[in-house]
Amino acid sequence: MTEKIILDTDIGSDIDDAVCLAYLLAQPRCELLGITTVTGEPVKRAMMASVLCKVAKKRIPIFPGCEKPMFVTPIQPKAPQAAALSRWDHDEEFPQGKALEFMRETIRKHPGEVTLLAIGPMTNVGILFAMDPEIPSLLKRLVLMCGVFTNRLAGVGPLEWNAKGDPQATSLVYRGACKVHRSIGLDVTCQVTMDADEVRTRFRKPLLKPVLDFAEVWFKSARQITFHDPLAAATLFDDTICHFEKGTVDVELGSEPLLGLTHWTPGGAEALHEVALGVDSKRFFDHYFSTF
């Protein structure tokens, strides 16, 4: 059976969003209903999404979403990887101011069938839940690349970029009463990495060629790719890649430096949230590349 998915993404900042979108476009069980972009330069981000859709020869609706977070200062006002756009065919015109209504109408049209996969700052999703509080209950599931829930991996700080990008929206998202409310956090995603040389060797399929081109911009300041967002997406099609436990997530809304911190309280069969606490890295990479 196919999975109806709306992807909400900040493609153009960290390279993993493009790696994720390529996977969804290649995944035969994914029925991608639409793509919404979020945070600084959302139109350029929409253009980048359009590149991959054109290479995949799929006509997917793309909507630039909210450019600025609800209250805090933007932490990623630019989309650096858009520097590679000139080398790829892409659309330049997109419906303006329609992202949230697209999400709302699509979810209401398919009650209980749509998975909302959010892999950027939570502005679009948080505002959607605030403007239509029934939407979370109409989703099949909400899957987030967001938060930090354990400190098992050295070098992972307490704050995660998507949660920090719009703490107020993140809090609204975690208060949404979804049937399945799943988070894959930074502490788990940091266990699936690949260095630049291996990426250049393995990203050979046509749909991965523009991703590699975008990645070369990323590699100017990084030596590897961490597959944060692709890991979240892969759990939709192989439920054994990550180990999940139920509990409750709260978001710190006090003041800096902990604004956006996710607090995880495990336990309770009726708990609202489930978070990833472990990953089978080999199984993930085998699954990811076999999709192409």
β-bridge mates for residue 226, sequence order: 193
Q: Among 150, 144, 180, which Cα is nearest to 163's?
A: 144
Question: Region 93-114: what's the mean pLDDT?
Answer: 98
What is the pTM for the complete model shown?
0.97
Pair of tokens at residue 209? 């060629």
Per-residue pLDDT at 153 exceeds 70:
no
Please state, rounded to an integer, the average pLDDT across all residues of the chain: 96
* Residue 207: Cβ within 10 Å count: 18
Q: Are 64 and 37 in contact (CB under 8 A)?
A: yes
CATH superfamily, domain 3-290, is Ribonucleoside hydrolase-like (3.90.245.10)
Q: What is the DSSP letter of 175?
A: H
CA 104, distance to chain mean position in Å, is 18
Question: Region 142-163: what's the mean pLDDT?
Answer: 86
Nearest-angstrom CA–CA distance, 107 and 1: 18
Rg over CA atoms, the chain: 17
Question: Region 156-171: what's the mean pLDDT?
Answer: 93
Q: Per-domain residue ranges for the chain?
A: 3-290
Q: Is 57 helix (H, G, I), strand (E, B) or coil?
A: coil
* Tens of pLDDT, residues 213-260: 999 999 999 999 999 999 999 999 999 999 999 999 999 998 888 899
